[in-house]
Amino acid sequence: MDNRTYKAIAIGGSAGSMDVLLRLFACLPKKFSLPIIVVCHLHPCDEGGLIEVFTRHAPLIVKEVADKELIQAGHIYFPPANYHLLVERDRTFALSIDAKVNYSRPSIDVFFESAAAVWGDELIGIILTGANKDGAAGIQVIKKHGGLTIAQDPREAAYPAMVQAAIDTGDVDQILCTEEICKFLQMLPVSCTGHVIEE
Amino acid sequence: MKLSDIENLEIDLLLEAIFLRYGYDFRSYARGSIRRRILQFMQMTGVGSVSETIPKIIHDESFFQQMAREFSITVTEMFRDPQMFLALRREIVPLLKSYPYIKVWHAGCATGEEAYSLAILIEEEKLAERTTFFATDFNDNALEKAKEGIFSLDYVQQYSQNYQQAGGKISLSDYYHANYGAMAIKSALKKKITFANHNLVIDQVFTETHLILCRNVMIYFNKELQERVVGLFHESLVYGGFLCLGTKESLLFSKYQNKFREIDTKNKIYQKIA
Ligand SMILES: C[S@@+](CC[C@H](N)C(=O)[O-])C[C@H]1O[C@@H](n2cnc3c(N)ncnc32)[C@H](O)[C@@H]1O
């Protein structure tokens, strides 16, 4: 375990990622001091039903992102269906309705790239199961900016294509199964600057 | 300096150069989207770094034009978010009916699909006679397309469905002629809208407006620019006038929040109350 401090965790998932996310969220400590931002390919007309499901299973606050919202520690964020998600330098979210990327909106690549440009080496990027290649380019950018990159073990992934594409870039630092990602998250050093907002 | 800091420095310089050389101000746009477009443009043109694009931008106007096209994303739809249009019909139209004269400003109309959607609604709600309708954008190419009112038939099924869900009273096909794989908006409807160039970064208010639609435009602005533009809208609206934002936009993070009442939370329809 390295002792770098991180400021944010970016997770990308697609087909089959629902179960993995539920397991990851369930293992998080109550006082998790980083924001977690999850871009997963949902149905374009999802009306926030997923947020409800995740809320029931996570010890943290699960939220659909609002445009210009300040990113806070101890929150799990999802972009609204049919919008790309990006991060601004003042640690606020920005949405966009630009054309789909990798047939997806939100696209994991779009989010990972903008997050890497803001958090640089203080970002952790995690790519999960999925049936396409979204996120692979994003993983490369995170790595280029010095961030830490993790892929779910393709042997465990329900749909290995997406993690495999990421791994094939050669820019994945660690390949872990869900159990190990859980442990990794639990062991993250609590950064002193990451502020837990008390509700 | 971190890689991202260096890149930001380069982007700052590029945007400054564009502003000083051509007067287009992208400095207060949301950085994430702008950055993405610059990188895409570089990939398209094979320029190696942001810094290398700067001299080209300064000396080659056509190169700038090419980049400007890349910068301006004009994706739009007819009756995007049908529920919002339905809410307009049900909640706002009855209130607008109390005015003998109605001024509508549609800001950031792109290629016009959304403006024609609103024009159809105004027509069906029998407000057209007393309504003056301005639709504006700062992209002249988009405005040209909007004035022509010719759109691909590829999306017509989606649009018709949206129209019905938005409370449409007849059929969308009553508003256009279909030919050569395109839908051409009928001229009777086209005449209802005045398309004009207006840049939200620098241009002034429209006075005495009753309804403003500005959807999915301010998501591309940073907070400061958003505040300027909301201020512009606030000043443009009559007391009691309405402001419609995109479904995922809000005044939540704006200092103007208290000057508006949220009429429909889900559809982001606001009324000026102060
Ligand atoms: C994504 S489109 C939204 C179109 C439509 N309102 C919709 O929601 O479907 C954004 C539009 O904002 C316009 N825009 C961007 N900056 C602008 C500015 N400074 N002044 C006026 N229009 C601007 C763009 O040219 C583009 O047409």
Among residues A41, A75, A84, A145, which one is catalytic?
A41
Cα B213 from Cα B115, distance rounded (Å): 9
Instruction: Inform me whether the pLDDT recorded for A198 exceeds 70.
Output: no
Q: Say how many Å lie between the CA of residue B216 and the centre of ligand 1.
A: 7
Residue type at A96 in one-letter notation:
S
In tens, the pLDDT along B16-58 reads: 999 999 999 999 999 999 999 999 999 999 999 999 999 999 9
The minimum-distance atom of ligand 1 relative to the CA of A98 is 1
C-alpha R_g of chain A: 15
Q: At what angle do helices B3-22 and B31-45 cross, to 10 degrees?
A: 80
Q: Say how many Å lie between the CA of residue B139 and the centre of ligand 1.
A: 8
Q: Is the CB of B3 under 6 A from ligand 1?
A: no
Best mutation site among B139, B204, B232, B267 for ligand 1 pocket (most ligand atoms within 8 Å of CB): B139
Residue type at A5 in one-letter notation:
T
Q: What is the pTM of this model?
A: 0.93
In tens, the pLDDT along A56-111 reads: 989 999 999 999 999 999 999 999 999 999 999 999 999 999 999 999 999 999 99
What element of type H or E holds B225?
helix B223-236
Record the tokens describing residue B26, joined without a space: 């992208």
pLDDT given for residue B181 in this prediction? 86
Fold of B82-272: Rossmann fold (3.40.50)
Locate the chain A residue with the closest alpha carbon to B221.
A94
Question: Is position A134 annotated as part of the catalytic site?
Answer: yes
Locate the chain A residue with the closest alpha carbon to B5.
A117
- Any residues with CB less than 8 A from the CB of A89 and at least 6 apart, and which? A118, B8, B31
DSSP state of B29: B
Question: In the structure, what pLDDT confidence band is assigned to residue A192 with cuts at 50, 70 and 90?
Answer: very low
Nearest protein CA to atom 10 of ligand 1, as residue: B217
Q: At what angle do helices B3-22 and B50-59 cross, to 10 degrees?
A: 10
pLDDT, mean of residues B181-188: 95
Q: Where are the domains of chain B?
A: 3-71, 82-272
Cβ-Cβ pairs closer than 8 A, A with B, add up to 83
pLDDT, mean of residues A11-22: 94
Instruction: Inform me whether the pLDDT recorded for A194 exceeds 70.
Output: no
The minimum-distance atom of ligand 1 relative to the CA of B214 is 6
Q: Say how many Å lie between the CA of residue B25 and the centre of ligand 1.
A: 14
- Any residues with CB less than 8 A from the CB of B157 and at least 6 apart, and which? none
Which of A135, A121, A106 lies closest to A11, judged by CA? A135
Q: What is the largest CA-CA distance in chain B?
A: 61
Strands A84-87 and A93-96: antiparallel
Distance, in angstroms, between B64 CA and closest chain A CA? 21
Nearest CB to B31; choose among A88, A144, A145: A88
Which of B212, B218, B266, B210 lies closest to B243, judged by CA? B212
Tell me the percentage of chain B whose pLDDT exceeds 70. Answer: 100
Locate the chain B residue with the closest alpha carbon to A144.
B3
Q: Is the CB of B120 under 6 A from ligand 1?
A: no
pLDDT given for residue A63 in this prediction? 94
Q: Say how many Å lie between the CA of residue B178 and the centre of ligand 1.
A: 27
In tens, the pLDDT along A114-135 reads: 999 999 999 999 999 999 999 9
Question: In the structure, what pLDDT confidence band is assigned to residue A48 with cuts at 50, 70 and 90?
Answer: low
pLDDT given for residue B38 in this prediction? 95
Record the tokens describing residue B218, joined without a space: 């301010």
The answer to whether B253 faces chain A, any CB pair under 8 Å, is: yes
Q: Are B84 and B269 in contact (CB under 8 A)?
A: yes
In tens, the pLDDT along B91-150 reads: 999 999 999 999 999 999 999 999 999 999 999 999 999 999 999 999 999 999 999 999
Ordered structural domains, chain A, with CATH = 8-186 (3.40.50.180)
Best mutation target, B12, B15, B28, B33, to test chain A (most A CBs within 10 A): B33
Record the tokens describing residue B97, joined without a space: 């009916």
Question: In the structure, what pLDDT confidence band is assigned to residue A47 with cuts at 50, 70 and 90?
Answer: low
Residue B71 has a CB neighbour count (10 Å cut-off) of 20
